[in-house]
Structure 1
Amino acid sequence: MEGVLDRINRRVNLFGTEEPIIQLFGEDRVIVQLPGASGIETAKALIGQTAQLVFKERNAEIGLTGDDLESAFASTDPNTGEWEVNIAFNDRGTGIFSDLTQRIVGVETKRIGVFLDDDLLIAPVSLAWIRDGRSSITGNFSREEARTLSIQLEAGSLPVPLELIQESDVDALLGEESLKKSLLAGIIGLGLVLLFMIAYYRMAGVVAAFALLFYAVVVLAVFKLVPVTLGLSGIGAFILSVGLAVDANILIFERMKEEIRIGRTLASSMEVGFSRAWPAIRDGNFSTIITCLVLLWLGSRTADDLVTGFAFTLFIGVVVSMFTAIVVSRNLLQLMAWIGLGRSLNLFSPEGTPTLTAGGRPGGAGQPRNV
């Protein structure tokens, strides 16, 4: 039964982002609760009532089962952009699969039948002799079809057959109320951060505000695409990634302030500020990415959904925050310099416009020195 729990969890929670509740009930029953599942039929398609995944040739057993499949995941072909399912076998499966593809390669009438409890999932032809046990299954899949097939393959074989006893769909009234409060708290928190950035960094703060809003939209779009169910661990990771995005902008703006103080133009201060801030941004974000990968590895080994979901969500947020800080913020600042706002340096520095002393150095009375 522990094996059943592990296999079901892998089927419905491939990335650790769904946060299902899967637990034993008595000695021979399992309760599965799927927050955010779009209907009973979707849930049943992922869990299934299956016991064995088997590969066959002309309905003949060849000794290749789900236990020989090391991994299966959906991706897009880099050349055509079409969805496909990538598969990889272990050492034993590689040998069997190599012999099979060698026998049937290029023969349209000979196919590889993939059966889930005697129900045919797919029957692809072999286009090449696969020697290393790694291949891809194509067939004009939609994203959801490729994802579902990869989960069915990845889950392998259940040690016992499953029989559906009861099913129900419950409206998330309490969850809906909690969601409203969470959204309100998030909007207030983000608003306070944006207000501080604009009040202190002025026009640079406006740039940070646009970059953060862009960041939030992109991250939420990625969460929807994966998909990611924003439970407590996901929300925590998202908030932490927002902090990292703000931190990157602050590092850039502080370096820019230093350059403006010594009399550089906005365009020059921006370029030098970005180059000096980049090592700190790079090291901080890459350290976080490494931590995420370690947590993903540990979560996958211990089947801890909270750890895996937190790490995966934070990884997405960190990658997007690096993009917005380096690309979006930089381009917006360049735009401001191009349209002439660079002449009003007091709009970008809380200390105001640098002035020259009698000896020609910034700090005294006189006009700003541009370098």
Structure 2
Amino acid sequence: MRIKPWQTLIAILLLTLAAVWVDLPGQTLDPFGWKSGITVQQGLDLQGGIQIVLEARPPAGVEVTQDVLQGTRDTIERRVNGLGVSEPVIQTRGSNQILVELPGYRDPEQAVRVLQRTALLEIIDTNGQYLAPGTIVNTTAGPASDVLGNEPTPTAEPAATPQATASPATATATPSPGATPGVESTPAAGEPAGTTASPTPEAGATPTPDATSEAEGPVYETIITGADLQDAYPTTDQFGTLVVGFELKGEATRKFCDYTSSHVGFPMSIVVDKQVISSPQIESAICEGRGIISGLNAQEVNELVLQLKSGALAVPLEVVQSRTVGPTLGQDSIDKSIVAGLVGLGLVALFMILYYRLPGIISVIALLMYTSFVFALFKLIPVVLTLPGIAGFILSIGMAVDANVLIFARLKEELRRGRTIARAIEEGFEHAWPSIRDSNISTMITCAILFWFGRYVGATIIQGFALTLFIGVAVSMFTAIVVSRNLLRVLLTSGLFHNLWWFGLERRPAEPAPAPGD
């Protein structure tokens, strides 16, 4: 059964109302809270925030492969998610860099501290010796890259030369099962290796690749590593002090039980990046694989939990670029972009109405629908809007109008040839469609290439431009062919617009009659 124009028009109007409802800010006309998670995602240049470029600095003789770099990027992403940043950008750039953009984040020192640390966590046997917090040690566990299952590295793990922020360990095991000494581990090989925030480097400090090689003295045996960690979480000890709780998994629980059973009364040390955090005394055997790490303040506890749950970095990272973008600049950019968009839209609408008359009015209506559709898609996908992304959206508005120009120019040609208005409308759309299709598809292919290139080089401004332009061009084909065509069909059936003046012609030119079959 053939669908009638008015039926299609009803579907278009319902779709438009839905798009406008999504476009409305906040919870407007939303009594059921359906739009609670639908918001405009603003990029770094619009709402302000932090941009950090991290560069891998492996020890001598270690190669940073794409797999290692991608694994490091994934760990960084998990850490960023723990910071609670909305729509962050974390991507590799070139062969050894990672770009991190944190829109809306206002603490660059904490961001650098959390993202940069290698954070290989170990519990070591100190041979009965008490090691003070801050002591740099050599251990039998290799660098973080070894623990994560990457290629072995010939040198000791790079450490971050952190400050000793943890006070001497007060974490001790209580006799009750499940309370283990202030101990911790790093996540399992399949999981991200643990990281700590307790001994945190100064803001902006960079890892010192060979810090551990400077440690002199014995090599201590590693009992547990981050590869054995099941979970980490903030909790309190028997005195109500905030501490880091952890759980071991699998074979590590038995191994830890055997060790603590045979070393009751002896100290053992918790080490992060080859630096001692605390050295609690083992008061009883710990066989349930649970314990705590104390001696940290509230911020250090939260950061340590975040890093343990997200994993250890496979290679040390150095901050090579860091900048903070203020929200004032972003708001100013938004205001100017809105003005530019309104001015451009107004000029285009004026030209279309004056030159094409009724089809021009139809194109303006279709253009308003187009704008509501695209903005709704930006919120639903969601698309992170940046200043270049807004530029791509405005450019796509011009391309949407271009499709209507091709259609209406052909419509006028058909009218000059003596076609009826109804036949001229159909001929105009059918003959203009191949040109619209080919030009828009070629533009979309170009957008896809630009998006891939921007992702490879870490240029988010290119990605934002390409993505918004791609979506805009795709929607413009729908509005030009479906919306404009059905609006013209419905208006024609009303019988009010049979005068050629409405279509940009003063009168029908006297031309030869069309050939048979036309």
> Is TM > 0.5 for Structure 1 vs Structure 2?
yes
The normalised TM-score by structure 2 is 0.42
- Structure 2: how far apart are the matches of 1:203 and 1:318? 24
Q: Contact 2:75–2:312 at 8 Å: present in 1 too?
A: no
Q: How does 1:137-286 map to 2 (within 5 A)?
A: 158-159=313-314, 172-286=327-441
> Is the alpha carbon distance of 1:236 and 1:21 closer, same or farther for their aligned partners in structure 2, counting shifts above 3 Å?
farther
- Structure 1: how far apart are the matches of 2:73 and 2:483? 42
Displacement, 1:325? 0.6
Residue 296 of structure 1 aligns to which amino acid in structure 2? Answer: F
Equivalent position to 1:330, from 475, 478, 485? 485
SS of equivalent to 2:492: helix
Displacement, 1:178? 2.8
Counting matched residue pairs gives: 263
- Measured on the aligned residues, the alpha-carbon RMSD in Å equals 4.9
> Is the alpha carbon distance of 1:173 and 1:261 closer, same or farther for their aligned partners in structure 2, counting shifts above 3 Å?
same
Displacement, 1:34? 2.7
Displacement, 1:21? 9.6
> Is the alpha carbon distance of 1:158 and 1:319 closer, same or farther for their aligned partners in structure 2, counting shifts above 3 Å?
farther
Structure 1's unaligned 5+ residue stretches are: 24-29, 55-60, 67-114, 121-154, 163-168, 363-370
> Is the alpha carbon distance of 1:260 and 1:38 closer, same or farther for their aligned partners in structure 2, counting shifts above 3 Å?
farther
- Percent identity of paired positions between Structure 1 and Structure 2: 48
Displacement, 1:302? 2.5
SS of equivalent to 1:341: coil
Displacement, 1:300? 2.6
> Is the alpha carbon distance of 1:244 and 1:345 closer, same or farther for their aligned partners in structure 2, counting shifts above 3 Å?
same
| Matching of residue 35 in structure 1 with residue 190 in structure 2 | no
- Structure 2: how far apart are the matches of 1:299 and 1:116? 38
> Is the alpha carbon distance of 1:179 and 1:21 closer, same or farther for their aligned partners in structure 2, counting shifts above 3 Å?
farther
Residue aligning to 1:86: none
Q: Contact 2:397–2:472 at 8 Å: present in 1 too?
A: yes
| Matching of residue 354 in structure 1 with residue 422 in structure 2 | no
Superposed CA deviations along residues 100-127 of structure 1, whole A, max 9, x for unmatched, are: xxxxxxxxxxxxxxx997449xxxxxxx
Residue aligning to 1:309: 464
Q: Contact 2:88–2:100 at 8 Å: present in 1 too?
A: no
Superposed CA deviations along residues 34-89 of structure 1, whole A, max 9, x for unmatched, are: 3357999xx99xx899989x9xxxxxx996568xxxxxxxxxxxxxxxxxxxxxxx
Q: Contact 1:261–1:353 at 8 Å: present in 2 too?
A: no
> Is the alpha carbon distance of 1:254 and 1:159 closer, same or farther for their aligned partners in structure 2, counting shifts above 3 Å?
same
> Is the alpha carbon distance of 1:267 and 1:31 closer, same or farther for their aligned partners in structure 2, counting shifts above 3 Å?
closer
Residue aligning to 1:103: none
Displacement, 1:230? 2.9
Q: How does 1:56-95 map to 2 (within 5 A)?
A: 64=190
- Structure 2: how far apart are the matches of 1:195 and 1:116? 68
> Is the alpha carbon distance of 1:342 and 1:37 closer, same or farther for their aligned partners in structure 2, counting shifts above 3 Å?
farther
Residue 237 of structure 1 aligns to which amino acid in structure 2? Answer: G
Q: For the pair shown, which has the larger CA radius of gyration, 1 or 2? A: 2
Higher helix share: 1
SS of equivalent to 2:385: coil
Residue 34 of structure 1 aligns to which amino acid in structure 2? Answer: L
Displacement, 1:344? 1.4
- Structure 2: how far apart are the matches of 1:313 and 1:117? 42
Superposed CA deviations along residues 156-175 of structure 1, whole A, max 9, x for unmatched, are: 9842599xxxxxx9972332
Residue 372 of structure 2 aligns to which amino acid in structure 1? Answer: V
> Is the alpha carbon distance of 1:280 and 1:181 closer, same or farther for their aligned partners in structure 2, counting shifts above 3 Å?
same
Superposed CA deviations along residues 187-240 of structure 1, whole A, max 9, x for unmatched, are: 111111101101111010000001111111111111122333332321221122
> Is the alpha carbon distance of 1:253 and 1:18 closer, same or farther for their aligned partners in structure 2, counting shifts above 3 Å?
farther
> Is the alpha carbon distance of 1:300 and 1:180 closer, same or farther for their aligned partners in structure 2, counting shifts above 3 Å?
closer
- Structure 1: how far apart are the matches of 2:457 and 2:231? 31
Displacement, 1:299? 2.4
Displacement, 1:336? 1.2
> Is the alpha carbon distance of 1:119 and 1:238 closer, same or farther for their aligned partners in structure 2, counting shifts above 3 Å?
farther
Residue 354 of structure 1 aligns to which amino acid in structure 2? Answer: R
Q: Contact 2:99–2:458 at 8 Å: present in 1 too?
A: no
Residue 478 of structure 2 aligns to which amino acid in structure 1? Answer: F
Superposed CA deviations along residues 280-311 of structure 1, whole A, max 9, x for unmatched, are: 00000010111112222222332321222222
Structure 2's unaligned 5+ residue stretches are: 1-54, 57-68, 93-97, 120-143, 149-186, 193-226, 233-309, 318-323
Moved more, 229-238 or 273-282: 229-238
The normalised TM-score by structure 1 is 0.57
SS of equivalent to 1:352: coil
Residue aligning to 1:152: none
Q: Contact 2:396–2:472 at 8 Å: present in 1 too?
A: yes
